Amino acid sequence: MEQAVTIFIDGLTYASWLFIVALGLTLVFGVLKILNIAHGSFYAIGAYAAASFVGWGAAMKLAPGWSIVAMLLAAAAVAALLAPLTERGLLRFFYGRDEVLLVLVTYALFLIFEDLTKLVWGANPYYVSEPYALFGNVEVGRQVYVGYDFMLVGMALLVGGLVWWGLNRTRSGKIVLAVIHSEEVAASMGVKVSRVYALAFSVGIFLAALGGAFTAPMISVQPGVSVGVIIVSFAVVIIGGLGSIEGAAIGALIVGLARSLAVHVAPVAELFSIYIVMAVVLMFRPEGLFQRIQARKI
């Protein structure tokens, strides 16, 4: 029983940051129809930026509580700086091309960012331990858990709720939905599609960087974090159905629980438990759990 609680809480924590990252991925796919391999790079850059920002905060002798603000600022800075550069400067030249070719474009982008992050931050690991202790410890039964983990779960709920509200209850959200539904009709109604693309891409990148910034205290930030994250978040959005918020939430939960179950019960299976789940889901629901069936094109 106690182990079941541990597995559940571990899985939930893992699922929460994964959901934030995967939400960005699924949003970008929903609007721009690009499955973005470089999403993992933005996650990594978010983590590195958070390490730098928190470091500067500490150097200025700010109270530890400010490190949360520093991490938020880091994510926002990454999105504000890199999203327009990538979308306007590069991706827009490839719109309308084959989906798989677009995956390869972002693969090229991923390779470029891998080296750029190494050039900027070097190859040594960064540790951002400061914010991790901010929320104290929580006792559940006889086990002690770090409060930060529960804060992450709350943040994932908040972010998911905000994105849902933004898409379904605001004017600009409705416009985004219209573009997702049919870009041509939206354009003919006077919607500036390129602006919607830029907006959606920026929000997506912000979510990736946010996930990176807030996981930075839990990991050592070093080259290679981008690779692991991108493959796992692919699994999440494929399981949930590309372009679906509920799908990303359920997918993240499934992946998080499958992974923590594997870690605690059968450590040998840790690496591939996620992919087995993904393969099984794809076999029975080729379009993912939450994807609407699309008409076959003649």
Please list every residue from 110 through 149 that binds another protein, using CB under 8 A: 110-112, 114-116, 118-119
Which residue among 63, 101, 144, 295 contacts another protein (CB under 8 A)?
A: 101
Quote the least distance from Cβ 292 to another protein, whole Å.
Answer: 15
- From the CA atom positions of the chain, what is the Rg in Å? 19
Quote the least distance from Cβ 113 to another protein, whole Å.
Answer: 8
Which residue among 4, 69, 85, 108 contacts another protein (CB under 8 A)?
A: 108
> In the complex with another protein, which residue's Cβ is closer, 130 or 287?
287
Which residue among 69, 158, 265, 271 contacts another protein (CB under 8 A)?
A: 271
| Number of residues near another protein (by CB under 8 A) | 43
> Measuring CA to CA, how many Å separate 80 from each of 120, 155, 207, 213, 261?
18, 21, 12, 15, 38
Quote the least distance from Cβ 111 to another protein, whole Å.
Answer: 4
Quote the least distance from Cβ 263 to another protein, whole Å.
Answer: 13
Which residue among 66, 94, 127, 164 contacts another protein (CB under 8 A)?
A: 94
Indicate whether 261 belongs to the interface with another protein (CB under 8 A).
no
Point out which span in 8-16, 136-144, 253-261, 265-273 binds another protein (CB under 8 A): 265-273
Quote the least distance from Cβ 225 to another protein, whole Å.
Answer: 14
Q: Which two tokens stand for residue 180?
A: 């997702």
The answer to whether the CB of 208 falls within 8 A of the CB of 18 is no
Q: Is the dihedral of CA 57, 204, 39, 22 positive or negative?
A: positive
Q: Which two tokens stand for residue 33?
A: 């129809």
Indicate whether 90 belongs to the interface with another protein (CB under 8 A).
yes
Look up tokens 């997918």; give the residue.
Answer: 251
> In the complex with another protein, which residue's Cβ is closer, 104 or 185?
104
The answer to whether the CB of 31 falls within 8 A of the CB of 179 is yes
Indicate whether 278 belongs to the interface with another protein (CB under 8 A).
yes
Please list every residue from 170 through 229 that binds another protein, using CB under 8 A: 227
Point out which span in 56-64, 96-104, 124-132, 209-217 binds another protein (CB under 8 A): 96-104
Indicate whether 31 belongs to the interface with another protein (CB under 8 A).
no
SS (H, E, C) 68-88: HHHHHHHHHHHHHHHHHHHHH
Quote the least distance from Cβ 274 to another protein, whole Å.
Answer: 8
What does the alpha-carbon distance between residue 163 and residue 216 come to, in Å, rounded to a whole number?
23
> In the complex with another protein, which residue's Cβ is closer, 111 or 162?
111
Binding site for another protein (CB under 8 A): 35, 90, 93-94, 97, 99-101, 103-105, 107-112, 114-116, 118-119, 227, 231, 234-235, 238, 242, 268-272, 275-276, 278-279, 282-283, 286-287, 296, 298
